[in-house]
Amino acid sequence: MEKFTKLTGIAAPMPLVNIDTDMIIPKQFLKTIKRSGLGANLFDEMRFTQDGAEIESFVLNQPAYRKAEVIVAGDNFGCGSSREHAPWALLDFGIRSVISTSFADIFYNNCFKNGILPIVMPPEVVEILMADAQKGANARMTVDLESQTVTTSDGQSFPFDLDPFRKHCLMNGLDDIGLTMEKAASIDTYETTAAQSRPWV
């Protein structure tokens, strides 16, 4: 998993509330178990017509936001069914952080397991960040995980809270497998000792 330390990039404003996982990646794209390729279908029903043409009004189709790396969203982002494909699609598109007033629990947890930083901010702060994101490609937002701050294009900085363990995992690029491999030496020692003490096993 790619490490997350500090990100400065374009933030896309998505003020909708209750953006659910079926909106993020519709069910017809859940047939794959690969994490790559899903970005093409991120927000598919909002981005494209039934004929596959881009919907120009959708934020990620607008020239200023095609390379967005942050989403500033309305309340309750990631609600709905518990599909891990949702963070896979966001990450494959290039989104590394989502900022909202609240997240669905399962989606929130899945983000950390896939290298995405979900940030919970008070409504009044999200309103400021949303306004900054609406400035377009010339307004770049900075998400600093080490200092736990989000800074707008004009220098306003806002702190956010985060569980220390999740912060450690993101900053070191550790998913569940990576966490296990951190204990590889201890596991090897145990296996060697067990084999010597119980050779019949």
Q: How confident is the model at residue 181 (pLDDT cuts 50, 70, 90)?
A: low
Q: Model confidence over 136-149: pLDDT tens digits?
A: 988 899 999 999 99
Distances (CA, A) of 64 to 69, 139, 141: 12, 10, 14
C-beta separation of 72 from 120 below 8 A: no
Q: Model confidence over 113-165: pLDDT tens digits?
A: 999 999 999 999 999 999 999 999 888 999 999 999 999 999 999 999 999 99
Nearest to 128, CA basis, from 148, 98, 158, 103: 158
Statement: residue 182 has pLDDT above 60 = no
**Per-chain mean pLDDT for the chain:** 91
More confident residue, 100 or 28: 100
Q: How confident is the model at residue 59 (pLDDT cuts 50, 70, 90)?
A: very high
Share of the chain above pLDDT 70, in %: 90
DSSP state of 158: E
Q: What is the pLDDT of residue 65?
A: 97
The Cα 178–Cα 149 span in angstroms is 26
Q: What is the pLDDT of residue 123?
A: 98
Nearest to 72, CA basis, from 184, 169, 186, 153: 153
Q: Nearest 5 degrees, angle CA 77-CA 147-CA 161? A: 40
Domain 6-197, CATH among 3.40.190.290, 3.20.19.10, 1.10.287.1080, 3.60.20.30: 3.20.19.10
Q: How confident is the model at residue 175 (pLDDT cuts 50, 70, 90)?
A: confident
Q: How confident is the model at residue 112 (pLDDT cuts 50, 70, 90)?
A: very high
- The domains of the chain are located at 6-197
DSSP state of 58: S
- Per-residue pLDDT, averaged over 86-92, amounts to 97
Q: What is the pLDDT of residue 180?
A: 56
Q: What is the pLDDT of residue 179?
A: 58
Q: What is the pLDDT of residue 199?
A: 78
**CB neighbours of residue 126 within 10 Å:** 23
